[in-house]
Amino acid sequence: MDEKTAKKLRDKWQDYRRFSFIFLTLSAFLYIGCLLPDTTESGARNVPVLAAIVSACVLLSVVFHFVGAKAKHILIKHEML
């Protein structure tokens, strides 16, 4: 693996880590919003939607984490990290 390819893969690895952290933070923020009491009628109807969005964000975070781990493993394998 040449240096240019290694740099591109290292940049992707860092991006995947950032995406994972962003989605995990977003899911935590939205989860806290689900827990807060809502005094309006429409608030109770939105809980399943928010729960689905939180679940999707956590799932995306896990996916980006594993994709980033795979990129890091390739870099370590080729001793470019």
Domain count, the chain: 1
Average pLDDT (40-68) is: 87
Give the per-residue pLDDT at 42. 64
30 compared with 41, residue with greater pLDDT: 30
Predicted TM-score (pTM) of this structure? 0.82
b/e per residue, 27-53, with b = 16+ CB within 10 A? beebbeebeeeeeeeeeeeeeeeeeeb
In this prediction, what percent of the chain has a pLDDT beyond 70?
90
Give the residue numbers spanning the domain of 73. 3-77
Residue 81 has pLDDT above 70, yes or no: no
- Cα angle, residue 22 at apex, residues 44 and 64 outer, rounded to 5°: 105
